[in-house]
Amino acid sequence: MNRSIRSFLALSAHVATLAAALLSPVALAASPGNDPAALAQIRDTAMQSDYAWERMADMTDLIGPRLSGSPGAAAAVTQVAEAMRKLGARVTLQPVKVPHWVRGVETGEIVEYAGRPQGITQRVVLTALGGSGATPAGGLTAPVMVVKSFDELKARSAEVKGKIVLFDASFDQHQADRGLAGQAYGQASSFRRSGPPMAAEMGAVAALVRSVGGANYRLPHTGSTALQDNARIPAAAVTAEDAMLMGRLAKRGPLSMKLVLTPKTLPDADSYNVIADLPGTEKPDEIVIVSGHLDSWDLSPGAHDDAAGVASAMAVLDTLKKLDYRPRRTIRVIAWMNEENGKRGARAYAAAEQANTEKHIGAIESDNGAGRPFGLRASVPATSSKLFAPLQAALQPIGAGIFRREDALLTGDLSFLERTGVPSFAPLIDTSSYFDYHHTPADTLDKVDPDHLRRHVAVMAATSWFLANIEQPIGRANVPER
């Protein structure tokens, strides 16, 4: 046998060996499903990466505030889409018409009160609430009426006409310190949302609310209201310190305030949800969403709310790319637009996917800040909880193995899908200090702990992978009607 024939046969044998290896179970390890070792690899890879931090820094430091309709929001759409394309994702920009509200001038001054020394007035630190109406350019001056509850407002309804109504309801930090920050926020934010329209119906000329947050550093906390065009009175949040001051002054006697708010509601603007798909290898038509919302309020870069959530979702694809892991189902990263003052992005997606919700196997959103995660909240059937034991085991080494099942709407953007039965998930986060910064100028990059952010990515990446590869059906969400 000559040398050329021997070489040919050797080459053929080598090719055959390679072909056999490629078809063997060992070679398929690049797509290992929910093997414990694979989940551990995803966890560890996420814990060793600063990709999410880098993307969050890009969003907060290079762009800044991103209220829907603003140049910042438009820049964020471009930035996130480009980053996802660099990872090889299939990127779609889903058109959304969004509110375009701009803040304008905002000042407050207590100009009359019992015992006021001659020539003395007191500045009030405040910020307009989303959807607020405007005062005349020169402002308005009116008596202030302080109430502690909706019941008190109703009982004193005859006094409301022509007044500035202040809702002085405090945020319960004791609840927040004990793991009930969401409940504390829900109680206090009801006054921000429903108080101004209720005061408007009774004839108030403006409405103020005590800022919804736990740190009294004379920071105003903005947020949305339920004001409508037929009664869009000026509305602002005052700091906790100023609310308490006005409460004390009201006990001494009548007080009046000069208020200047000049926001504008402009025509709806064009914007987008950013959708980035890592297609599934076996069931590409079945979808697992991992997400955060792209917009922030205009007072700050929104590091906790919600640049951290978007960056963590983006980092899921980066983690899987580093490992060259290909999911059975499509993993879809969504950066939602307009969560803060309308949820138009979530509504647009739900409408577009209305006939396809059965193909949505699960949806994850992080929108409770970047505190340390301890596990998952899950809106799944009770009978499915046991299926997640392998995921819990994989996350336990980083202290994130808790699995808390709920029949509840977990996050705003996912609520429209969840009502159709799509199981939803959210990191279970320490939120005890989240509302110190929430919707304030202090929600900046330096408030986020990089180690906590890595843990967020580990939780979201492992959960996304687990859902994309799970064999058993987990059932549909069962959210009670509200």
Name the residues annotated as catalytic.
339
For residues 310 and 77, the answer to whether their CB atoms sit within 8 Å is no
Listed in sequence order, the residues at least 6 apart from 114 whose beta carbon sits closer than 8 Å to its beta carbon are: 249, 252, 253, 254, 255
Residue pair 262/135 in contact (Cβ under 8 Å)? The answer is yes
DSSP one-letter string for 58-99: IIIIII----TTSHHHHHHHHHHHHHHHHTT-EEEEEEEEEE
| Pairwise CA distance, residues 217 & 31, whole Å | 51
**3 state DSSP class of 450:** helix
Strand 402-405 and strand 360-365: pairing?
unpaired
| Structure-token match 């859902």, residue found | 467
Return the closest-CA partner of residue 425 out of 474, 390, 471: 474
Q: Which amino acid is at 351?
A: A
* AA letter at 476: R
Backbone angles phi, psi at 470, to 5 degrees: -65, 140
Q: ω before 446 within 30° of 0 (cis)?
A: no
Query: What distances in angstroms separate CA 181 from CA 203, 212, 347, 374, 442, one per listed residue?
Result: 33, 11, 26, 15, 18
How far separated are the first and last CA of the chain, in Å rounded?
84
Query: Could you give phi then psi for residue 227, rounded to 5 degrees?
Result: -65, 140
CB 361 within 8 A of CB 319: no
Residue that has been written with the tokens 């064009």 in this structure: 270
DSSP H or E segment with residue 60:
none
Q: Strand, helix or coil at 111?
A: strand
